[in-house]
Amino acid sequence: MNGRGSVARLRNVADLVGWPRLLFLAPLWLFCRRYLAIEAPLSAPPGSTDPRAEMADRLAAAGLEVADVGPASLSALAEINPLYSVEEAERRLAEGHACKLFRRAGVPVHYRWIATRPLRLPLDGLVFLPEPTDYVSLEVCTRARHRGGGIQSATVAWSSAHAQSLGRTRKVAFVAWWNKPSLRAACRSGGFAHVGSLTQWSIGPWRRAMASGRVRLQGCEVRLE
C-alpha cells in the first residue's frame, strides 16, 4: 500500500478507536490479528409479516435508501471508504457475493458486503464455509463523518429482515476485536452474541492460526458450529 493509503488506513481506524489507542493497536495488529465470531439466530417471521415491508420501514425511519452495487457503480464505495479497492470489489462480485449501498439525502453513507457462499476471511489463506442457512456480513463500512447518526444500528436491523426474506436462519460476522462501535451496534440492534474467535499470529513468513469457542479450524477452512 502506498503512503497515501497507509495514512488513510490510520485515519479510518483512529475515527473508531481514537489516536491514543491506535498507537497501542497498530504494532500489535502487525503480529496478531484477532477476530470475534458473532452470530444472531433468526426465527421465521410470522405469516402476517412481510420482511420486505420491515426492511422498508427500517430504512425510512433512518432516512436511508438502498441499492444493489454492480460493476458500473463500484466507484460509489470510494466515497465511503478511503481504503476501497476496485480489484477486491470486482473479485467479490465475481465470486458471487453481493454489496448493498445505502444513501442518505442522495449521499453514499454506508455499504454492506453480504455472503451466502464460501468467502475469504481478512486473515491470510483462511476461508469461511457458511452453512446453507447462513447470512454472512462480509464487510461493513459507514462514512466517517456520518458515524454516530444511527446508520449502523438501522442497517444492522435491516440486514436481519433481509436475511429472513432470503430464508436464512442465522446471521454471522467476524469483527476485529478492537472495533467496539460495530460490536455494540451488532449486539444492540441485531441480536448478535459472541460465540468464538479466530486469531492469526504472523512473524515474517511464519503464520499460525488458532480458533476458540464454536469456531472450528481445519487446515485453511473455518466453520462455525
Please tell me which residue, 20 or 177, carries the higher pLDDT value.
177
SS3 199: strand
CB hemisphere CA count around 2 (13 angstroms): 3
**Is 4's pLDDT higher than 50?**
no
Per-residue exposure over 185-215, b if at least 16 CB sit within 10 Å of its own CB, e if not? bbeebbbbeebbbbbbeeeeeeeebebeeeb
| CA gap 139, 129 in Å, rounded | 16
Residues 28-62: tens digit of each pLDDT: 667 888 999 999 999 765 554 677 787 888 788 88
Using 50, 70 and 90 to split pLDDT, how confident is the model at 24? low
Please tell me which residue, 178 or 104, carries the higher pLDDT value.
104
Instruction: Give the mean pLDDT of 8-36.
Output: 64
Residues 65-91: tens digit of each pLDDT: 999 999 999 989 989 987 788 889 999
**Is 5's pLDDT higher than 70?**
no
> In the prediction, which pLDDT does 8 show?
47
**Of the candidate ranges 34-43, 46-55, 145-154, 186-195, the one whose mean pLDDT is the lowest:** 46-55
Would you state the cell numbers that stand for residue 116, as one nine-digit string?
451466502
Phi, psi angles (nearest 5°) of residue 27: -65, -35
Would you state the cell numbers that stand for residue 96, as one nine-digit string?
458471487
| CA gap 224, 212 in Å, rounded | 10
Say if CB 216 and CB 224 are below 8 A apart: yes
Is residue 69 left, alpha or beta, with left meaning phi > 0 and alpha meaning psi from -120 to 50? Answer: beta
15: CB partners within 8 A, 6+ apart: 144, 147
In order of 43, 52, 72, 186, the CA distances from 38 in angstroms are 17, 24, 32, 9
| CA gap 215, 206 in Å, rounded | 22
User: What kind of architecture, by CATH, is found in domain 31-224?
Assistant: 3-Layer(aba) Sandwich (3.40)
pLDDT mean across residues, the chain: 85
Output the CA angle 32-33-35, nearest 5 degrees: 145
Q: How far is CA 185 from the centre of its chain?
A: 12
**Of the candidate ranges 5-9, 27-31, 104-108, the one whose mean pLDDT is the lowest:** 5-9
Would you state the cell numbers that stand for residue 176, as one nine-digit string?
476485529
